[in-house]
Structure 1
Amino acid sequence: MPIDTSVAIGAALPDRTFSWNTSDVLLYHLGVGAGNRPGDNIDAGALRYTHDDDALQVLPSFGIVAPTFHETAPPALDLPGCDIDLQFVLHGSQEIVVHRPIPTSGTATLSTKISDVWDKQKAAVIVQEGEAHDAEGQHLWTVRSTIFVRNEGGWGGDRGPSTKVELPARDADAETSYAVLPQQAALYRLCGDRNPLHIDPAFAEGAGFPAPILHGLCSYGIVLREVTDLLLDGDTARVGGFSARFAGVVFPSETIRVQAWDEGDRVLVSATIVSDNEQRNGAPVLADCVLTKA
């Protein structure tokens, strides 16, 4: 079996020490759509994402990409006990929990392990968990992600827990939409993800898509930023964590509809496509989205 669970589960990946600065933070924020609306260039709230003054803040999802931000090669997949083909791999879900506001510059070390491997019969799901600490040992953030590996299930293992989030049976407490820029994927790939699926039309066609698609983590960052602005007064320090399952693709120039339900200590979120194309209209972008308040 290409995935040897006796080797994979519990295996530690090499620690990764990395640094970031305000320019990286600004580029990331632009990559997830900060400053795109008319008037944002003079709006104090929008400028908290795009101006490197004392008011600059960091969207928590930056912690997910910070360790690989300066990489220029397409992502590799080298996991202990996992002999798998990259073309059969999909990003299944992502979560970040921040233990303190992320500073606008710094150095940290990320320690990652494979915490579990689930058997979905027609696919395997590999679960990774990482902990980031700064040079003084302060715990900065925790990341958890799953990757979905087609054609690798069926060995009789644990299916894993259900993470289905039921949305309230009432109108959303807040709603907005974000028009994805035509160059959004080209911009976001400068944040450390040079997968050709997001820039090369021929590669995208070979993968079964009519055009390059937006990075899932770009959609994730866009939605988190929009909800933070909608219900948390644009204050990223009020975000304790954000989790979501990647449920569908986004093409540049499409519009993402974001609906949010404030449940007290958490916000439940729906993200879908708004399109004149009947087949695309209402298509899910992210599912089982939960923003936990700090």
Structure 2
Amino acid sequence: MPIDLATALAAPPAVRTISWTRRDVLLYHLSLGAGRHADADPELAYTFERDLQVLPTFAVVAGRTISVGDEPTAPAMRMPGIDVDLRRVLHGGQALAVHRPIPPAGTAELSTRVADVWDKGKAAVVVLEHRVADADGPLWTAQMQVWARGEGGFGSEPGPDTTWSAPDRAPDDVLDSPTDPGQALLYRLNGDLNPLHAEPAFAASAGFDRPILHGLASYGIVAKALVDGLLDGDATRLRGLAVRFAGTLVPGETIRTSVWRDGDRLVLAASCPERGDQPVLSHAVAEVTA
């Protein structure tokens, strides 16, 4: 079905109630590697329910639930004006702005709308905006860029210029985050059961040697590295993180995050040192507070 831009942009937001518990937050942190070296540092701020702090990037999985026996699925892309074959969908980018610290348990209202659709010729980029608020007001706003192959040519604008390069100087900081071979199997329990991250035969059919780590897992791992390495372990100081997904990572490989300081902004680039620093995340900027 061709994309109907006017219908997509005019559709009212889809609204639903989401909730999460401390267990959900603990699982999310563990799936990013928190407590990996529990004999030396159990990282109780992430792994123990008392005085639990919440990484802002938990927002991307909050309210997602699965049950034993669920069939593996990918995110649906059917909404007014848009009906995209899921086999053509790639998660192209993610942005998040946190308006105040996320509570370790809560209930909130999630409002989702199509904020824009860009025509890339051979593909379309659907920009989904998620706004979340609880009884005390706005909690976070997130934008997800979905690359839909073969869905271009509907006559919209191509979107902003995507040219990007890291600053032309040595990074101010370099943070290495090792991953575990089974990390994707744990991360998928946050709600993304796509077999690409678990089943070798399915990964091979998609052109990969083995299952790959979720892009949003890399996103969260980088966020944790920033909090631990540059923000004194205080997750509330990370107020926003925007990235493009530039390449894949195999569980067991390392994410190397290069950081250039620019006031309250951190310009980032993440790569895989085991594969010659091939890009993992690009166009990356973190907003932080002192």
Paired residue secondary structure (2:269): strand
1:177-211 CA-partner distances (Å, limit 9, x unpaired): 12211100000000010011111111111111111
Q: In 1, Cα distance between the equivalents of 2:93 and 2:139?
A: 21
RMSD over aligned CA atoms reads 1.7
Determine if the alignment matches structure 1 residue 48 to structure 2 residue 82.
no
The answer on whether the counterparts of 1:180 and 1:255 sit within 8 Å (CA) in structure 2 is yes
Q: In 2, Cα distance between the equivalents of 1:141 and 1:80?
A: 24
Correspondence 1:94-133 to 2 at 5 A = 94-133=94-133
Please give the TM-score of this superposition, normalised by the length of structure 2.
0.93
Q: In 2, Cα distance between the equivalents of 1:41 and 1:141?
A: 35
* More divergent stretch after superposition (99-108 vs 13-22): 13-22
Q: Which of 254, 273, 277 is the matching residue for 1:282?
A: 277
Q: Following TM superposition, by how much is the alpha carbon of 1:165 offset from its aligned partner in structure 2, in angstroms?
A: 4.7
Q: In 2, Cα distance between the equivalents of 1:200 and 1:43?
A: 32
Q: In 2, Cα distance between the equivalents of 1:84 and 1:149?
A: 7
Q: In 2, Cα distance between the equivalents of 1:165 and 1:57?
A: 33
What is the match of residue 273 of structure 1? 272
Paired residue secondary structure (2:216): helix
Determine if the alignment matches structure 1 residue 228 to structure 2 residue 227.
yes
What is the match of residue 241 of structure 1? 240
CA 1:232–1:69: 2 relative to 1, 3 Å: farther
Aligned length: 285
Please give the TM-score of this superposition, normalised by the length of structure 1.
0.92
1:234-255 CA-partner distances (Å, limit 9, x unpaired): 1110011000000001111111
Q: Following TM superposition, by how much is the alpha carbon of 1:8 offset from its aligned partner in structure 2, in angstroms?
A: 1.1
Determine if the alignment matches structure 1 residue 64 to structure 2 residue 60.
yes
Paired residue secondary structure (2:81): coil
Paired residue secondary structure (2:103): coil
Runs of 5+ unmatched residues, structure 2: none
What is the match of residue 179 of structure 2? 180
Q: In 2, Cα distance between the equivalents of 1:41 and 1:24?
A: 23
Q: In 2, Cα distance between the equivalents of 1:166 and 1:67?
A: 35
Q: Following TM superposition, by how much is the alpha carbon of 1:176 offset from its aligned partner in structure 2, in angstroms?
A: 2.1
Q: Following TM superposition, by how much is the alpha carbon of 1:76 offset from its aligned partner in structure 2, in angstroms?
A: 3.8
* More divergent stretch after superposition (77-86 vs 155-164): 155-164
The answer on whether the counterparts of 2:2 and 2:154 sit within 8 Å (CA) in structure 1 is no
Paired residue secondary structure (2:79): coil
Runs of 5+ unmatched residues, structure 1: none
The answer on whether the counterparts of 1:114 and 1:129 sit within 8 Å (CA) in structure 2 is yes
Q: Following TM superposition, by how much is the alpha carbon of 1:63 offset from its aligned partner in structure 2, in angstroms?
A: 0.7
Q: Following TM superposition, by how much is the alpha carbon of 1:164 offset from its aligned partner in structure 2, in angstroms?
A: 4.5
Q: Following TM superposition, by how much is the alpha carbon of 1:161 offset from its aligned partner in structure 2, in angstroms?
A: 1.0
Q: In 2, Cα distance between the equivalents of 1:6 and 1:198?
A: 35
1:15-47 CA-partner distances (Å, limit 9, x unpaired): 1211111111010001112122x3x45537x22
The answer on whether the counterparts of 2:174 and 2:258 sit within 8 Å (CA) in structure 1 is yes
What is the match of residue 218 of structure 1? 217
The answer on whether the counterparts of 1:10 and 1:116 sit within 8 Å (CA) in structure 2 is no
Paired residue secondary structure (1:117): strand
Q: In 2, Cα distance between the equivalents of 1:269 and 1:206?
A: 32
1:123-164 CA-partner distances (Å, limit 9, x unpaired): 000011111011x15100001111000111123320011255
CA 1:161–1:232: 2 relative to 1, 3 Å: same
